[in-house]
A and B are shown apart, each in its own frame.
Chain A
């Protein structure tokens, strides 16, 4: 079974721009969660989508948004990029049940200049 895929793998943007990241979950998985990883803050939960609905949201500003499509693929958008948004963005997929294992993709490294 193919794993979680994320595109693009690397991205360079300038302040003020917007960016869209994509995540394709493992086949059959309906839950996609997004995390931001930085050296200073570690791994922080952004939001989770299940069956095209946002079920949970972390403590991030409204510039961070997402959506999920009927095939469970998910996109994450960051508008008006700031230098502090430079990070590794990881998505994780699971069936959608409580306390089950999440499987992660390779991540997208975003650099904001």
Chain B
């Protein structure tokens, strides 16, 4: 079974609107971290936001927020006030307990922001 599932291969959003990118995960480890990365066409993976499994509040970083629903094992990324520069591939990732440097990634969602 896939550990990280991103069910939206592609998404479109109008500039200045908000968009939610879905991510569900599968783990039996009570201690884990969830991450979102942005990958523009240049290839670099840019860290956006982190949520720890024991964090009581949803993480926020500027225009990015993470809708963390632990019981449903979902960690959706919300981007508010979309900008043209937000057009990129977005990856959800997880690191579990004693993972020794390994992140597990989903297949990604391509976001296109329309002017």
Contact = CB atoms under 8 A, between A and B. Distances in A.
* CB-based closest 8 A-B pairs: A48-B101, A104-B45, A56-B100, A99-B33, A43-B105, A55-B100, A33-B101, A107-B43
Interface residues of B, number: 28
B104 interface: yes
Interface of A: 31-33, 35, 42-43, 45, 48-50, 55-56, 58, 88, 90, 92, 94, 96, 98-107, 109
B101 A55 contact: yes
20 contacts: A33-B102, A45-B102, A48-B100, A48-B102, A50-B101, A56-B99, A88-B43, A90-B43, A90-B45, A92-B45, A98-B31, A98-B98, A99-B31, A99-B52, A99-B97, A102-B35, A103-B47, A104-B47, A106-B44, A107-B44
B99 A42 contact: no
Given A100-B95, A103-B47, A92 B103 contact: yes
Contacts of A92: 45, 103
Nearest to B91: A43
Interface in B20-39: 31-33, 35, 37
A56 B44 contact: no
Nearest to A32: B101
Nearest to A99: B33
B64 interface: no
Contact of A45 (B46, B96, B103): B103
Counting chain A CB atoms within 10 Å of each CB, which of B35, B42, B91, B99 scores highest? Answer: B99
